[in-house]
Every structure is written in structure tokens, then in C-alpha cells.
A and B are shown apart, each in its own frame.
Chain A
């Protein structure tokens, strides 16, 4: 019988092999990789492979069965997934240039506020209707609000929309969402880790806000230090130092009850004003992608698909309710950017994809199981979020792929409607 130690390496090998294969399949059929990473994780979990009794099926004892066959949810997988979260947010921070944001604050602010009001608002209502508690509603609101920067950006490039005017409106709204989600995660983490008690949650929010202020101060005053910290010709040293600083600060944040993701975001922001941005992007991108893939895999590994049965109705309701809200907010965002009817519709179609950040919120919900959230509700929110992301990532990428068909149906009607109301409004 193999010991845990002797199978650790082969487990990690299976993990990477499975993720690589999932990526290949997703690529072949022109879909986003994220749902496939999750699905393959689910497939190899104790809940799926672990429940299959091969020996009984084949009448032999030589094949391991049950939990022996499933990939264990080890510390390695969990910590790698955490690093994936940290690197995802680190990159957001890195891309987040305050000057650029201020330069186009008006449009981004307007389009972003419309997006926030419609989708976060709808999420709050929906979450409260589905789960009946404020915290669950708050988490649901985050889950349905935040579009997937990773999937949408990649689709923009793949479809060639990146050269078109709609890319400005979409990327602008994503920036607003990303900034909001950094603050949101700080508050949500405090609420979840605060165990649900108002007093303690407030205390933790205080700590979180304090920590963010310290980080902001660090970002503001420490540019020179961050600049010097990576002053080396060796790629090896740049990667090691960047990881050292980022993971350590994120870990420290988590240890005092502040979201590691938020800390990573601010560390990324600190590096964004140094001259190393380009190097960091080039050198850390493959690392981010590898660890993010483990994160999605881990999400699958921790998901019992049979729980989907219980929340399938909720997922369906949410998908039906929140696809139109994104279509609407995207359309309005496009109009704020002075885009034509057709392009505004396209912004809406493009923004419906939800992905990585919804899953980060889901993992946060899970960590509050039994304390801030009653165990069954936490499990439901988690299963709901994973199922919802699976559905919405496929719906979103499909809507984008078939946008020209949809546009040809929708746009003439919109133009007819608007045209009769105010003939000159179309561009």
C-alpha cells in the first residue's frame, strides 16, 4: 500500500496532467479554459471518482477504489490555490494605473456605477430571496456582480474586438469592477472571518481598513523602495524577490484576518509605478496562469457535484435573472461611452461572463462555514457560486461568439425603437 508521501509527487503530476488536458479540450472546442479546469477537478475529487467502485465494476481487487483513487485535497493544492488567488489580484494591481484611471474617470465612473447599481443591487435582492440572510445576500451580490476579467480580456483578443471601440467600454468597466472588488473583498473577508457577530465584524473591518490604509501609505511612499527591491539583472532574482514580497505580505494580511487578495492587489499597485512592470508581467504571467489553474482545479476538487442538485434551481434562477442585468448594464455602459447601438449591445453580450472573482468569493463563503454562515448555507452558497460560474462562463463566451447573429436581430429593433423616440440619438 502506497503511503501518502510516496504518492504526493504523482498526485501533483496527475493534477497538472489533468489541467493541461482540460486546457487542450477547452481550446479545441473554442471555450474558455476556466470551466474545464473546474470540471476536471470535480471529476478527480472524492465526490466523483472517489465514489466509483471500480473493483466491483470489474470484479478485481487490483485496482484501487473509492477515496484511494481520488485526488486528495492536500495542503499543497490548497496553498497553491491561495497563491493563484494572490497572483490573480497582484496582476490586477499591477495593471491598475491610478493616473490612467483618473484620466478617464468620468466615463469609467459612470459606466461602472451603472454596472454596480444594477448588478450588485440585483444580486443583493436575489441573494436575500434565495438564502434569506444578509451575509449570504452580500456574498451573492459580489458573485453575480463581478464579470470575469480573465475570460473577457482573452475573448476580446481572440475575437479581434480588442481593435474596436467596444473594448474601451468593456475594459473600463472591468477596471471599475476590479477596484470595487478589492474593497469588497476586504469587507467581505472581515464579515466572514468575524464570525457573523456585528461587534467583532466591525472590529475586523476596522483592522482591514487600517491595513489597507497602511498599504496605501506604503504604495504612496514606498515607490523608491519597491523600485530598488527588484534592481537586478537576474530574472531569477526578480521572480524570487517579487514572490517573496507579495506572498509574504499577503500571508501576513491573512494571518491578521485581512483578505490576502486585497493585500496582493495593493502590492501589485505598488509595483505598477516602478520601472519593473514589464519584467514582472512577462516573468510572472506563466506562474500566475499555472497557479490560477490550480486554483480553479481546487475549486472543482472541493465541490461535490451532487450538491448542484440542491442548488440547480437557484443557479437557473440566477442565470436567468442576471444575464439580462449584465446585458442591460453593458448596453447602458456602451451608450455612456458614446458607442452605437450595435456596439453597446456587444458590450452587454461581452460582460455577462462571470469567473475567477466569483470563485474567490465562493471560497471565502466556504471558509465561513459554521461560524459566520450556518454550515448548510455556506455549502449552498459555495455550490451555487461554482455552478453559476460554470453556467455563466459558457453562456458569456457563447454570447460573444454568436454576437453578430444576435446583433442582427436585436439592433434593428433597438434602432427602430430609439429612432422613433429620438431620431438623432444614434451616434
Chain B
């Protein structure tokens, strides 16, 4: 696979990626950060524009393509509402989380925030229900149930303020 790079003075940069069957993926990175993605049926064909995305979205898509994207469920992004004000949410335990390395008993999450941890996803395993002795590890995904306020409170324990 070859990637061709060229400058587009006044516009930005162009990358052409050789795909299978002679197809080419053309990515134009504008100076503004905007990316335009084109597909060419063969090296000599005109590009068909597939989509354009902002700088931020492009980076996110890039990490997904790379297989490096693991940032389960941001609270705002996906949340399941059970009733009027009760949410079922997923949180990731990051390095910076205050509760990482503590047992559920030590972390005392229910008393401090009001939310309950109903399950923990660890690698391929599901720990449900967790016991007071269960240790919270970095990269665990916590399935949490609680009211909106309580969930917000819980997020502060994770250290990734929103």
C-alpha cells in the first residue's frame, strides 16, 4: 500500500491512499482543519466525494479506524432513561479516577453519591452483581443506576469532570 502526499497551496494537503482493486481513497485536509474524503474508482478517475467532517470528528473517526478508540459511553452521548429522572449509564474507570484500586466498600459510592453500581464489565467478563469486596480497576466499565444529579455527582469521583 502506498500513500501519496501532496501540498495544495492555499488549501491544505492531499493524501491519496491506494486501496485494493486499484481504488484510491483521497483525503483533503484543509488549512481550516476540515477533511474531505473522496473515492476514486481508479487512479485516473475523478474523485467522488464521500463526506466531509470537522477536525474533531475526523480525529475521532481516525482512532476508531485505527482500533484504538475505547472511551465507552460519555454520559451526555448515550444515556438510558428508565423513568422520569432515573438513568442507567455506563462509565469508564480512567487512570485518574479517585476510586480506581478501591473496593466497592472502601469507595462507599452509594452513600457518597446515591448511585448503585449494578454491574462491572471487565475485559470480556461481566461481574454482576458486584460484591462489596470487588476491586474497581482501571479500564473497568461500570453500569450505574441513579438519578441525574447523583450520576453527575458520581462522575466527579471518576475524575473526568464534564
Contacts and interface: CB of A to CB of B under 8 A. Distances in A.
Contacts of A162: 8, 11, 14, 28, 36
A409 interface: no
A163 B38 contact: yes
B47 interface: yes
B106 to A, nearest CB: 41
A157 B46 CA distance: 13
Contacts, number: 59
Interface string B30-52: 01100010101000101111000
A163 B28 contact: yes
Given A281-B32, A282-B32, A171 B11 contact: yes
B64 to A, nearest CB: 22
Contact of B11 (A100, A156, A285): A156
Interface residues of A, number: 28
Contact of B38 (A100, A160, A282): A160
B10 interface: yes
A18 to B, nearest CB: 27
Interface residues of B, number: 19
A160 B46 contact: yes
B7 interface: yes
B6 A153 contact: no
Identify whether the interface residues of A are mostly helix, strand, loop, or mixed: helix
B9 A163 contact: no
A112 to B, nearest CB: 12
A369 interface: no
A164 B47 contact: yes
A304 interface: no
Given A160-B38, A163-B38, A167-B14, A96 B46 contact: no
A278 interface: yes
B26 interface: yes
Contacts of A165: 44
Interface centre among B9, B26, B36 (most CB of A within 10 A): B9
Contacts of A281: 31-32
A168 B10 contact: no
Contacts of A168: 6, 8
A164 B47 CA distance: 6
Given A100-B7, A174-B9, A278-B31, A163 B44 contact: no
A340 B49 contact: no
A156 B48 CA distance: 14
Interface string B7-23: 11111001000000000
Contacts of A427: 44
Given A163-B28, A163-B40, A281-B31, A171 B9 contact: yes
18 contacts: A97-B7, A97-B9, A100-B7, A160-B47, A160-B49, A162-B8, A162-B11, A162-B36, A163-B40, A163-B47, A168-B8, A171-B9, A171-B10, A171-B11, A172-B9, A278-B31, A282-B31, A427-B44
Interface of A: 91, 95-97, 100, 104, 149, 153, 156-157, 160-165, 167-168, 171-172, 174-175, 278, 281-282, 285, 340, 427
Given A149-B10, A163-B38, 4 more contacts: A100-B9, A153-B11, A171-B10, A171-B11
